[in-house]
Amino acid sequence: MSKKFDFSILRNLRKKLGITAEQLAERAGLTRATVAKIEGGKANPTMGTIEALAGVFQLTPSELVRVAEATRFEKGKTKSFKTKGFSGKHIWFPQFEVYFIKAKAGVRKESIPELHENTAEVCLVLSGKLNLTVGGQTHKLGAGMAARFKAMQDHWLDIIEDSEFLLIHHSAV
């Protein structure tokens, strides 16, 4: 049986904050022994303890619990696609998808509203040049440049020179 929560992540949160276990215990109103047991994966904190620890990290208790959810490995589902001037792969996970796209110069690709939910979209250009128009404003993007916007907005891509880029959809901005 696997554990559902791994509160040993407190050690990483604490180190990121730049404090010792003693300082964490003091700020949360806990004993050093309690913090050591939780960080060592030898204790399951009570809701009161979770609330106290979350406050130190400026998280809500539910955010801390979400961070402590046991890690799981997810393999993305992948599908290749090819349309006029565009080809690539669509890789998706729950609430996260990536399109790796190769596009020919002179092609325009308009957004398809049916494919968008309340997500944010990131366009990361790996090579080439393109114009990204979002909400009526055009932005020139070249290799190594990226932009993020709400995916439900009207948007399209005009490929200026042969390009490779990623379109990433993730939970809303």
Q: Is 154 exposed, middle or buried (0-12, 13-18, 19+ CB in 10 A)?
A: exposed
- CATH number of the domain enclosing 59: 1.10.260.40
How high is the mean pLDDT in each 10-residue block of the chain (173 residues)?
76 93 96 94 91 94 87 85 94 89 96 77 97 96 96 93 95 63
**Residue 130: inside a domain, yes or no?**
yes
The structure's pTM equals 0.64
| pLDDT of res. 1 | 39
- Which of 68, 93, 108 is the last residue before a domain boundary? 68
C-alpha R_g of the chain: 22
The first and second tokens of residue 90, run together, are 């669509």
CATH number at residue 147: 2.60.120.10
| Residue range(s) defining the domain that contains residue 120 | 77-171
110 and 154 housed in the same domain: yes
What local confidence, expressed as pLDDT, does residue 114 receive? Answer: 73
CB burial readout 123-134, b (16+ within 10 A) else e? bbbeebbbebbb
pLDDT for 71 = 67
Residues with Cβ within 8 Å of 141's Cβ and at least 6 positions away in sequence, in order, are 123, 125, 129, 130, 131, 132, 147, 165
Distance, CA of 36 to CA of 39 (rounded, Å): 5
pLDDT reported for residue 67: 86
